[in-house]
């Protein structure tokens, strides 16, 4: 995929598989909803005591996969190699939490108590922002077109 296609794909509400390195050297892989921080970088929110945060405190290396498609000819995706930055700043956490919610659960942002509920959900969380080092992408739908 071109850089524009990668950006368009990542802005759709997919689930991201996120891998960190466990203390024993094995990958720790989890599925995450993701969003964007105000500057446009990919980010997730997670509990500050989660295994992924403990792993990132030891090693900032992170690999993510966002993919789509059911049949072989429909497969497309983006692998993201990044250095993760764990951020405890409440406003950054809330901004990414809002982005995640807008993309995956927008009805949770409706109503007079929505902002208070979002802030309460984010209180025990940190943000993990991805400083992207490289991306690898594919779109098998293009194979059938050629």
Please tell me the predicted confidence (pLDDT) of residue 145.
Answer: 64
Q: What is the value of pTM for the model shown? A: 0.91
Edge-to-edge, what's the strand order for the sheet holding 42-47?
27-33, 15-21, 61-68, 76-87, 125-139, 42-47, 35-36
Nearest to residue 87, comparing CAs of 21, 142, 117, 42?
42
∠ CA 94-97-99, rounded to 5°:
110
Nearest to residue 84, comparing CAs of 104, 49, 56?
56
Q: Is the dihedral of CA 25, 26, 27, 29 positive or negative?
A: negative
Q: Which CATH architecture has domain 3-140?
A: Roll (2.30)
Specify whether the CB–CB gap between 1 and 67 falls below 8 A.
no
Q: Measure the CA–CA gap between 101 and 126, rounded to whole angstroms.
A: 15
Per-residue pLDDT tens over the stretch 54-88: 999 999 999 999 999 999 999 999 999 999 999 99
Per-residue pLDDT tens over the stretch 93-118: 999 999 999 999 888 888 889 889 99
The two tokens of residue 89 are: 């700043």
């Amino acid at each position: 995929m071109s850089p524009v296609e990668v950006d368009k794909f990542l802005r759709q509400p997919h689930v991201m598989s996120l891998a960190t390195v466990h203390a024993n050297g094995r990958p720790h892989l989890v599925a995450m909803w993701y969003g964007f921080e105000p500057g446009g970088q990919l980010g997730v929110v997670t509990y500050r005591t989660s295994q992924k945060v403990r792993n990132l405190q030891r090693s900032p290396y992170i690999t993510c996969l966002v993919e789509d498609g059911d049949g072989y000819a429909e497969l497309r995706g983006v692998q993201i190699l990044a250095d993760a930055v764990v951020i405890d700043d409440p406003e950054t956490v809330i901004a990414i939490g809002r982005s995640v919610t807008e993309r995956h659960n927008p009805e949770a942002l409706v109503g007079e108590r929505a902002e208070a509920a979002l802030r309460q959900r984010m209180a025990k969380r940190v943000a993990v922002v991805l400083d992207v080092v490289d991306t690898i992408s594919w779109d098998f739908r293009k194979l059938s077109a050629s």
